[in-house]
Amino acid sequence: MASPPSPHAEVVVDLGAIRHNVARLRELVSEGVADAPRVMVVVKADAYGHGMLPVARAARAAGADWLGVATGAEALALRESGDTGPLLCWLAAPGADFTPLIDADVDVAAYSVAQLDEILRDARSLGRRARVQLKFDTGLSRGGAPRAEWPALVAAARAAEESGTIRVTGLWSHLACSDEPDHPANKAQLTAFDDALALAATAGLDPEVRHLANSAGALLLPETRFDLVRTGIAVYGLSPAPDVRTADQLGLEPAMTVRGSVVLTKELAAGDGVSYGHTFVADGPMRVALVPMGYGDGIPRAASSTAEVAIGGVRGRVLGRVCMDQLVVEAPTAAAGDRVVLFGPGADGEPSATDWARWCDTINYEIVTRMGGRQTRVWVGDEAT
């Protein structure tokens, strides 16, 4: 956990913010209901760039009932780190070996009868009952069984349950437009999910959890919460729908700060071009600063000449093209060695990851998930330290 002396570029992850956000989500989804839905913290893709294992530990400490990941490798890494709680893994390709996941008590997802057959084969070879969650496609047209295959998947799963090969622990689906609460797809998906649940109940399935909502569903569409909400981006302190409700309005604290040290400053004169292609040309004397991060560190090249950073609380724009390792910013008051903050919670006048997403024509999810490849990553706010 110790940081090296004077890191040039670092990603600082505040585990106190993670714990706060998990607690805040638990509070928000339990408002006004007797039987509060459980909360799954989604830690796929290295916890959206924040570091899977430290985030998972902080999330469990703050009361996360479930963890969720995409790949089997992610699930096994959590188990190897000592995590023993409820854990769902939802993505596998044909030919996948489910044996280590079943053996590690990981809930696996079945999207089709063919995939269920692979899970059954591995459960039998292991002599251990697999925990399986059936996924229904309510309208995202991504993973899950389409309506036409659902009755066959449910029937096969129920038969395998009766023979003791599996336990069907969950029935679930995923929303397409929950960041637009008024989008008609939300109601259509809810209706389709209710129909799928009714069919499964008629077939005799009685799962532990039925779940549909991601962060936006959990926060903006209470009727999608069912028994469990699968929250990712909100746990990291970012709004899934910044145009509808900001992180601040939701009471969430951004957990990631990306910062570094100014390598060099210099004075430009009118007519000096900056970075490859001279897409920015100074129209008068100005001071610029060299920042030691570029697209090799996950800084989008789309930030060229649009994004802003803060140095000593003073905002400056990225000038010209973002390079692989470096970028140049406008910096009227900076000196070499000053701390430059690209984005963070805003405490030092820096922009947010959501601001960067707007500047780069993407979503805050992509901005944070790209980080942490080459920068030094530091976790602060751990209860243990």
Ligand X SMILES: *Cc1c(COP(=O)(O)O)cnc(C)c1O
User: Judged by CB under 6 A, does residue 186 bind ligand X?
Assistant: no
Pick the catalytic residue: 48, 135, 266, 276?
A: 276
CA separation, residue 63 to residues 27, 56, 85, 225, 383 (Å): 11, 11, 11, 17, 14
Using the rule CB under 6 A, give the single segment among 2-10, 14-22, 200-208, 209-217 that binds ligand X: 209-217
Q: Could you tell me if 255 and 280 are in contact, meaning their C-beta atoms sit under 8 angstroms apart?
A: no
Report the distance separating Cα 132 and Cα 114, nearest Å. Answer: 14
CA separation, residue 122 to residues 85, 86, 169, 254 (Å): 22, 20, 17, 41
In the bound state with ligand X, the residue whose beta carbon lies nearer, of 238 and 307, is 238
Using the rule CB under 6 A, give the single segment among 114-122, 148-156, 231-239, 343-351 that binds ligand X: 231-239
Look up 276 and say whether it is catalytic.
yes
Map the footprint of ligand X across residues 17-36, applying CB under 6 A: none
User: Judged by CB under 6 A, does residue 232 bind ligand X?
Assistant: yes
In the bound state with ligand X, the residue whose beta carbon lies nearer, of 98 and 111, is 111
Shortest distance in whole angstroms from residue 111 CB to ligand X? 11
Per-residue DSSP letters for 186-210? HHHHHHHHHHHHHHHHHTT---SEE
User: Judged by CB under 6 A, does residue 174 bind ligand X?
Assistant: yes
In the bound state with ligand X, the residue whose beta carbon lies nearer, of 233 and 274, is 233
Characterize 3-29 residue by residue with b for buried, 16 or more Cβ atoms within 10 angstroms of its Cβ, and e for exposed. eeeebebbbbbbbebbbbbbebbbebb
Shortest distance in whole angstroms from residue 267 CB to ligand X? 44
Using the rule CB under 6 A, give the single segment among 98-106, 213-221, 294-302, 327-335 that binds ligand X: 213-221
Shortest distance in whole angstroms from residue 135 CB to ligand X? 8
Sequence-separated (6 or more) residues with CB below 8 Å from residue 206: none
User: Judged by CB under 6 A, does residue 90 bind ligand X?
Assistant: yes
Token look-up 């038969």 returns 159
User: Judged by CB under 6 A, does residue 240 bind ligand X?
Assistant: yes
Map the footprint of ligand X across residues 279-308, applying CB under 6 A: none
Residues with active-site annotation: 44, 276
Interface with ligand X (CB under 6 A): 42, 44, 90, 174, 214-216, 230-233, 240
